[in-house]
Amino acid sequence: MIRNPRDIQRYNASERANHWVVGICFILLALSGLAFFHPAFFPLTQLFGSPTWTRILHPYIGVVMAVFFLIMTLRFARLNYIAQRDIEWLKRVGEMVNGDDHNMPEQGKYNGGQKMLFWGLVLGMSLITITGVLMWRSWVTVPVGVIRVASVVHAAAAVFMIGLIIMHVYAAIWTKGTIRAMLYGTVTRAWAKQHHRAWYRQVTGDKR
């Protein structure tokens, strides 16, 4: 949909599809994983057919997610290198959270928080994928000491990442006009100028 031809493209269709494959897999993995994590969540197994189906499906969904996350990482890694202005931004993130972004240093395509999220997820995904494979008894046999450590790390990485994703989703809801970037790819010029001014200048050539 083209509402205003002057809107700016932030993600192309392939990037959006890639993101949603990872997102859907993540939600399925979090729901199925939490079912094993604590008895309070065990009823979530009913979403996947049965408790046994949940156990069978979880690691396969994990493999799909790992592959698509790797592709996404390769796509976005360069845009997430940490620069001086990101550190400035992170130091003053309190003002942002407080709802006052007027004096925040200007940001490129991603701000310091988004970059931290990106690298946090890269770390979490690496840990969770490796440990998940080590725990996968249908295919993999490793000494029990390794499985024990893998189980703790897998659960910890899951909690870490679910926490990050709660923040990620909330930030998208909180910052109005953001979700459309991942739904149909564009953002308004006003949005870009307010939240990512350096990127706005770069893509529009607007010097102000």
Active-site residues, by number, are 168
Q: Give the max Cα distance, the chain.
A: 61
User: Binding residue for another protein (CB under 8 A) from 22, 66, 125, 162?
Assistant: 162
User: How many residues of this chain bind another protein (CB under 8 A)?
Assistant: 48
User: Binding residue for ligand HEM (CB under 6 A) from 16, 55, 85, 201?
Assistant: 55
Q: Tell me the DSSP string of 13-56.
A: HHHHHHHHHHHHHHHHHHHHHHHHH-GGGGGGGGGGSSHHHHHH
Instruction: Determine, following the binding rule CB under 6 A, whether residue 132 of this chain makes contact with ligand HEM.
Output: yes
User: Binding residue for another protein (CB under 8 A) from 11, 36, 89, 199?
Assistant: 36
Binding partner of 166, given another protein, ligand HEM, none, CB within 5-8 angstroms per partner class: another protein
End-to-end CA distance of the chain: 28
Structure tokens at 96: 């942002």
Element (H, E) at 63: helix 51-76
**C-beta separation of 97 from 120 below 8 A:** no
User: Binding residue for ligand HEM (CB under 6 A) from 8, 18, 19, 33?
Assistant: 33
Quick one: 101 exposed, middle or buried, by C-beta within 10 A (0-12, 13-18, 19+)?
A: middle
Which C-beta is closer to another protein: that of 75 or that of 105? 105
- Using CB under 8 A as the criterion, which residues of the chain lie in contact with another protein when the complex forms? 4, 6, 35-40, 42, 45, 51-52, 54-56, 97-99, 101, 137-138, 144-145, 147-149, 151-152, 155-156, 159, 162-163, 166-167, 170, 173-177, 188-191, 193-195
